[in-house]
Amino acid sequence: MSGLVARVARRPSQGQVRRVTPVPPEHARGLVAAVYHQVERDFGMLAPPVSLHSPAPSVLAACWVVLRETLVAAGRVDRAAREAVAAAVSAANACPYCQEVHSATMAGLAGPAAHASADTRLARVAGWARDSTDRAAARHAELPVPADQAAELVGVALAFHYLNRMVNVFLDASPIPATVPASVRGGVRRIFGRLMARPARRDRPAGAALRLLPAAPPPADLAWAAGTPTMADALARAAAAIDAAGRRSVPPAVRDLVTARLAEWDGQPTGLSRAWVGDAVRDLPAAERPAGRLALLTALAAYQVDDDVVDGVRAAGADDAALVELTAWASMAAARRAVSWIPLAPAPPP
């Protein structure tokens, strides 16, 4: 996508963000401006899933560092396969926005004349990614790439377990405006995919986003990334930034509650009812129950977050930055749990 198109797309795309107000590009300064510049340069446009984080600059940087160094930066796995992971994980997480964006980008990369072998390969990648979202199924999922490349796909899965939750809380269900008639949405989606594929074909060297955040020691639960040093460094820096955000904006009792709940989670959806949330937060101090509801729902059923849940946290005093920090912490905690059960070696024979 040309720089002109990216600039033209800024205003309407930022209008898709709900419940918080992103920093307008013309008012961005410091770290926010540096992230915005890299996003437009390397991703092709100021993507709302990234810019929605801008009320909390360090979390904005963490989101971009993870996205760039897993999906965008060049590696041993090609971009189309990474997009297949992004789309499949998004579908499993009931995130139609991300599924639509990354399915369209994958199709734009593959092109209408893609060989059947390429389609089969991407289908295998998508199948593995879908199975990996369930703890039981992940044990037997067949790796679609050599074992020494698997961590790159797990990195993309981590990024989209995180982003899907944030997008479900803060964005509409589709990147295509609701005013676009159903009869032409398919054509708009194909054009969008071709536009997104242009920057995706460019070689983006790994590591360019690292300078946005200070170095940090790698957490033990992210040790699976050690074989890809630049990605491991990126994840460690981002995890430290989001953990710090959690300490600022998530009460300790809420962090403990979410952590305990995630320790028991196996990837299965919570169901249509939200009654479990009320039961789960009952023992929290009354003033912390709104934060507990939002954090638990973000981690385990982000598609069920509604205005009432967010308004409850607002009434307790949270501003835009605190909302972003709370949901980012819960989203990353869930993402780290969701990739913890993915084996990086070939599945044993049945």
Range with lowest mean pLDDT among 41-45, 197-201, 242-246, 280-284: 197-201
Residues 127/98, Cβ–Cβ less than 8 Å: no
Convert the pLDDT of each residue in 162-171 to its tens digit: 999 999 999 9
Q: Report the alpha-carbon distance of residue 333 to residue 110 in Å, rounded.
A: 33
Q: What are phi and psi of 342, to 5 degrees?
A: -85, 120
Q: Report the alpha-carbon distance of residue 63 to residue 318 in Å, rounded.
A: 21
Q: Report the alpha-carbon distance of residue 42 to residue 3 in Å, rounded.
A: 11
Residue 347 predicted with pLDDT over 80: no
Residue 29 predicted with pLDDT over 80: yes
- DSSP, residue by residue, 289-329: HHHHHHHHHHHHHGGG--HHHHHHHHHTT--HHHHHHHHHH
CA distances from 213 to 81, 153, 241 (A): 28, 23, 8
Q: How large is the average pLDDT for residues 296-315?
A: 97
Convert the pLDDT of each residue in 40-75 to its tens digit: 999 989 999 999 999 999 999 999 999 999 999 999
Total residue count of the chain as it appears in this document? 350
